[in-house]
Structure 1
């Protein structure tokens, strides 16, 4: 297996230097974490499933004109992506009350919201990703007003598209998290969708039973995490042949 230098390692993915300048290889791990890393486990095959699901969704989103960092899938666990400067703001789009929104505002879980709500969080594990406003984002220089406008427009467009896509396979898109980055091309800079879109950062419920098909199964000790992710992949028509298989990580250069 090719030797490559590790650039960054997060809770669910590792970034390695890419084969060409301006590219990275994104490797999906089987690690699962919750509650700001206070709970962790290994779910065999999760990385394979998230790689395939995110590949499919990123490609479909690109088809509707949303720029992304995704280039192509390399193998069962890796993607080639464009190197971007990550904007330290997580964007949460909520369609149905669940999770922290239900807790904070006392809105019963499962309540349809009057309209889709967009929230911002400062991307900081040490601080627990606190909620922030546009005022914080611009005051501290995390993003410009124009970048915020672009992020909002893309987030709502992605939400509209994914709601329809998931409803078509019997799944409710309850809420999900997006990350964006600055892509530098020659003298141009533009904001693009980054990170991943998978059951790790989406809440997905079956439309008939409201059964959870996402990482809440791990957070709440419901069991069947891998099976739920497999069902999402199956409904999307992208279940890996023979099911998810384990692939070793690339050898690191010290």
Structure 2
């Protein structure tokens, strides 16, 4: 088997050249980040769960007309995606006050916001991915005004979908992060959801008990992260409900 060409490697994923022009293979690693202030960690089985959960969310978005880079899952850790030009911004949608917002504005954690708030963060690890305004984005040429308007509309549609899906299984979608990429179809450019949507990119709380399942689940103890991700998968029907999660999760095909 020919060795694949690596295009990019980040904390949690590797991108390889795809089998056809305009495609990539996205490989999910077990490495990642614990919460916002944590360092890199390795949790066995995390990549498998994130691959399957991202497939679940991306497929759902495609089905309701929200365009994503997802084409199909290849195996337990890989999926075939469309190659896109990533806009260097993380788009965060907040429904409840938590994390950096509570620190910046002094709002009590868990406070319901009057409406979903969309924020932009410049993707630069050396700078700590700082919060930026639309003025910054336009002035430095990261995106134009129409791009920003489209990104906000896209993020709010994703929020509607994810909030409804999570509410249906008793989970509150506190906030989440997406990345957006540009694709061209002839001379026409459009924006689509890229990267991943998984518990690593969401803050999720149980609606009844307040238990944490998303990216801050392993803040105190990283060993709890895999079970938290598995619980989300079980509730969504990606994992059977009658299995106890181990380091090798059983997934439904």
Is the structural similarity TM-score above 0.5? yes
Question: Aligned pair 1:41/2:41, yes or no?
Answer: yes
| Residue number in structure 1 paired with 2:95 | 95
1: CA distance, partners of 2:74 / 2:44: 20
| Residue number in structure 1 paired with 2:143 | 143
Question: Aligned pair 1:183/2:192, yes or no?
Answer: no
Q: Is the 8 A contact 1:91 1:178 kept in 2?
A: yes
Deviation at 1:240, TM superposition (A): 7.4
| Residue number in structure 2 paired with 1:251 | none
| Residue number in structure 2 paired with 1:206 | 206
**TM-score under structure 1 normalisation?**
0.92
Paired residues in the alignment total 246
Give deviations 1:132-154, integer Å, cap 9, x for gaps: 01111111111111111111111
**TM-score under structure 2 normalisation?**
0.92
Deviation at 1:22, TM superposition (A): 0.5
2: CA distance, partners of 1:194 / 1:35: 21
**For the structure 1 residues 20 and 5, does the alpha-carbon distance in structure 2 shift closer, same or farther, using more than 3 Å as the test?**
same
- The DSSP-based 3-state class of the residue aligned with 2:227 is helix
- The DSSP-based 3-state class of the residue aligned with 1:200 is helix
Give deviations 1:36-95, integer Å, cap 9, x for gaps: 786122100000000000000001011121111110000000010000000001111000
2: CA distance, partners of 1:89 / 1:65: 23
Structure with the larger RCO, 1 or 2 (CA within 8 Å, 6+ apart): 1
- The DSSP-based 3-state class of the residue aligned with 1:88 is strand
Deviation at 1:2, TM superposition (A): 5.5
Gaps of 5+ in 1: 247-254
2: CA distance, partners of 1:78 / 1:184: 24
Deviation at 1:169, TM superposition (A): 0.5
- The DSSP-based 3-state class of the residue aligned with 1:178 is strand
**For the structure 1 residues 3 and 245, does the alpha-carbon distance in structure 2 shift closer, same or farther, using more than 3 Å as the test?**
farther
1: CA distance, partners of 2:220 / 2:100: 13
